[in-house]
Chains A and B, each alone.
Chain A
């Protein structure tokens, strides 16, 4: 059974870059799409973007200038970078896989989530 685990700092200073990694165990990166999704009390669930096993990316247009997602297939990991963060980026960040191979947009399973706070 595939499992996803987010890791990274829980506190990021304003204007800095938020960097998170999702480690996939019990399954392969291929041939799925892998997403980052965040959750806040105010804005609810927000999809940030995805990457395929071959490195194809799609981002949320609202964040595309600040987001980069990359994949490391050798280590079964993918990563999120969010630049120039503000307090509005404080959220629980989830990584998730598409439920079926080669499909886009139905997310399961998810990692347990990691709370990232943006504060000085």
Chain B
């Protein structure tokens, strides 16, 4: 099973700041890596798939990069609704599909 780790666990920022979140895989996942956002009390929603492709309806301030074992989600200018928990997920080697433990972006 591929294990995903995320850092930092918490990122304290202000609206308008740039957020950089990291995800590392225990073995190569090639480009089969996605990112989800989960707001309090809501289900996760897909932001990015295949490392860098935005899901339908996702704003351009969200972008992804990386390959192999190291990946980054960047939010160029945080909006108030972006303060949430972000998860990475892989589909390179399954079953099972696996998720990272999450990074919480909260207000500084």
Residues of A participating in the B interface, judged by any CB pair closer than 8 Å: 44-47, 49, 58-62, 94, 96, 99, 104-113
Contact = CB atoms under 8 A, between A and B. Distances in A.
A81 B36 CA distance: 26
29 contacts: A44-B87, A44-B101, A45-B87, A45-B99, A46-B96, A46-B99, A47-B95, A49-B95, A58-B94, A60-B96, A61-B1, A61-B96, A94-B44, A96-B43, A99-B46, A99-B55, A104-B91, A105-B32, A105-B91, A105-B94, A105-B97, A106-B34, A106-B91, A107-B36, A108-B46, A109-B45, A112-B42, A112-B43, A113-B43
Instruction: Classify the secondary structure of B's interface with A.
Output: loop
Instruction: Classify the secondary structure of A's interface with B.
Output: strand
Contact of A59 (B34, B50, B95): B95
B49 A99 contact: yes
Contact of B98 (A47, A58, A109, A111): A47
Contacts of B56: 99
A9 to B, nearest CB: 20
B97 A47 contact: yes
B43 A47 contact: no
B102 interface: yes
Contacts of B49: 99, 106
Interface string B44-58: 111001100001100
A114 B42 CA distance: 11
Interface in B52-85: 55-56
B43 A94 contact: yes
B9 to A, nearest CB: 12
A108 to B, nearest CB: 4
A44 B6 CA distance: 12
A107 B42 CA distance: 15
A66 to B, nearest CB: 14
Nearest to A59: B95
Contacts of B46: 99, 106-108
